[in-house]
Amino acid sequence: MKYEQLAKDIIKHVGGKENVSSLTHCITRLRFKLKDESKANTDALKSMDGVVTVVQSGGQYQVVIGNHVPEVYAEVAAIGGFQAASEDVPDEKVGLFNKFIDTISGVFTPILGVLCATGMIKGFTALFLALGWLSDASGTYQILNAIGDCLFYFFPVFLGYTSAKKFKANTFMGMAIGATLVYPTFSSIMSSGEPLYTLFSGTIIESPVYLTFLGVPVILMTYSSSVIPIILSTYVGAKIENFFRKVIPSVVRTFLVPFCTLLVTLPLALIIIGPVATWAGQLLGAATLFIFNLSPVITGILMGAFWQVFVIFGLHWGFVPIAINNITVLKSDPILAGMFGASFAQTGVVLAILLKTKSTKLKSLSIPAFISGVFGVTEPAIYGITLPRKKPFVLSCIAAAIGGGIIGLMGTKGYMIGGLGIFGIPTYISPEGMDRGFYGAIIGIIVSFVLGFVLMYFGGFKDDEVQEDNSNKADKPETLVKQETVISPLKGDIIALNEVKDEAFSTGALGKGIAIEPKEGKVYAPVDGVLTSLFKSGHAIGITSKHGVEVLIHVGKDTVKLKGKYFTPKVSQGDVVKKGDLIMEFDMEAIKAEGFILTTPVIVSNSNNYLDVIETEKKSINYKEDLLTVVI
């Protein structure tokens, strides 16, 4: 029960177990699907010991834990009873893209560990064969190769299980669909039998027909290692199963529902869904290869530069089915190869920080982050070290981009889904052995690592960016903060910035933020900081927080024309202010009588320096309530 208290606190701050629809985990994250994300106390979770950060993406509420997430997951699942929790909860209305990411991560997350493990075994077996340590005729090679191939060969069976679970269907029904798709007799018929006739002759989808079902031609395909056919077939099967569950009496439902479901679903899967999905997969493979061939170097640069950003928001899941599909259809994948140097670039940057810093706390964070980074797990490095300091994260992206460009230039391709970090090296060995692409992968990760280290070590690293928590220098900025909350300086109704009748604000040209239609003529300081600008007309005030966030409060439209009339500042330029200090009063009725609109934008004028500025979802707001969250 090592993580019992942490698990209890996590459950409490996600809104309680009654707010949890489902829970899974990946290598470093607990992935919650919450009924109402507004009930979660994100700030409290982020500040907890044992939690790295929180990411809300793809319809999931992701609590980043680190390498020990399986143990924490076990505690959370046991205490919350989520494994037995009902899943009959209406899906949250999210965009199609978020729904796609959520579906893909839900299907692949449960098998990620075994997928990496079998890929590593297959990769090392290929390495031993290339080095001449094993012969492909030896029993040792045959057994190791079988272990490495087992999951990928029977992939539809495993994905049938996880897909059915994701689509809330009978998991064994999903496995039955997958097993039928890879039924060995079908492969034997295709390899040794004579076709009855050929469909679509002379086209790119020309298909020999070896058998029929009730007179309907069945286009047999090789579904081993495939992804799209089983996911779509299981999705359709889930819908069909749900229909039969509603119309079949409960007394015979146990066996008649699966009986009817399989009888309807599998012919559809073999006759329509499987062939169409396979052709779609072939087109997807051809399309990604076409994009790669337009400029392998640019593709590698973009994948290297943005891979860590994809990881932060969980968007990397969108590339997983593409890579697996390419390996199935094209026997290799050049797209994901470009990201291979990203974890090494991140690790090189962390090593430089580890050697440069004199902060005991930062050193203690850097050592485990470096070790996990070597093995491809970079979340501790990203969230604990590089991202909060911005510059190290940017430098790691630059190093990864250059490494990705080299990998693209060398034509590197992945031939299997395998391990991460150094364990991923064997996955780039071609069936013909160590070729130019394999050596390109080696050069790419070395360049990424060395360049990340050099850029950080000699790039003006300042240890005062990472002050100890017990620093007694109150006038120094707290640069380790992950986000800053801007409280409301006014009382009134919330208006979206794009609805403000002033293009300078509505287009976002002056920065991100929100607007308030004031109900009282008082303005309070929204952050702790320095009043850096106070217009002579009194209608606008700029405050720079101690974390560097620049907040501009602009009372009304064109009120500069009043030349200060009806505005009474309570502070002077250069004054230090605290959150909630009264900084200005204005006569609302008099300003309105002059014909001016009082809609007041509150913006972060240097918002381009930050990851995001998140507005409140409230329709009306009172003084000192949370208005904006600046993600630093």
Contact 578, 568 (CB under 8 A): no
Q: How many CB atoms lie within 10 A of CB 162?
A: 22
Instruction: State in Å, rounded, how far the first CA of the chain is from the last one.
Output: 34
**Active-site residue identified among 26, 397, 539, 547:** 26
Cα separation, 399 vs 31, in Å, equals 30
Q: Which residues of 533-543 are buried (b: 16+ CB within 10 A; e: fewer)?
A: ebbeebbbbbb
Pairing of strands 550-554, 540-545: antiparallel
Q: Which of 237, 234, 284, 278 is nearest to 261 (CA)?
A: 237
Cα separation, 93 vs 315, in Å, equals 18
Contact 343, 369 (CB under 8 A): no
- Contacts (Cβ under 8 Å, ≥6 apart) of 394: none
**Active-site residue identified among 316, 539, 547, 554:** 554
Cα separation, 532 vs 147, in Å, equals 66
Over its C-alpha atoms, the chain yields an Rg (Å, rounded) of 29
Q: Please return the burial class of 175, using the count of CB atoms within 10 Å of its CB with bins 0-12, 13-18 and 19+.
A: buried
Distances (CA, A) of 215 to 191, 196, 212, 218: 22, 12, 5, 9
Distances (CA, A) of 396 to 263, 300, 366, 423: 53, 15, 15, 20
* Phi, psi dihedrals of residue 618, rounded to the nearest 5°: -70, 150
* Phi, psi dihedrals of residue 233, rounded to the nearest 5°: -65, -40
Q: Hey, CA dihedral for 443, 449, 451, 452, is it positive or negative?
A: positive
What are the DSSP E strand ranges found in 447-566? Answer: 483-487, 492-495, 512-518, 522-524, 529-534, 540-545, 550-554
Residue 478, sorted as left (phi over 0), alpha (psi -120 to 50) or beta, turns out to be beta
- Contacts (Cβ under 8 Å, ≥6 apart) of 577: 525, 528, 529, 530, 531, 543, 571, 583
Contact 237, 171 (CB under 8 A): no
**What is the 3-class SS of 59-116, one letter each residue?**
CEEEEECCCCHHHHHHHHHHHHCHHHCCCCCCCCCCCHHHHHHHHHHHHHHHHHHHHH
Contact 63, 54 (CB under 8 A): yes
- Contacts (Cβ under 8 Å, ≥6 apart) of 607: 511, 512, 513, 613, 630
Could you please report the per-residue DSSP string of 566-593?
TEEESS-TT-EE-TT-EEEEE-HHHHHH
* Phi, psi dihedrals of residue 529, rounded to the nearest 5°: 175, -155
Residue 260 is among the residues annotated as catalytic for this protein: no
Residue 554 is among the residues annotated as catalytic for this protein: yes
Pairing of strands 216-218, 483-487: unpaired
* Phi, psi dihedrals of residue 606, rounded to the nearest 5°: -110, 40
Distances (CA, A) of 40 to 11, 79, 393, 539: 9, 18, 28, 37
User: Which are the catalytic amino acids?
Assistant: 26, 554
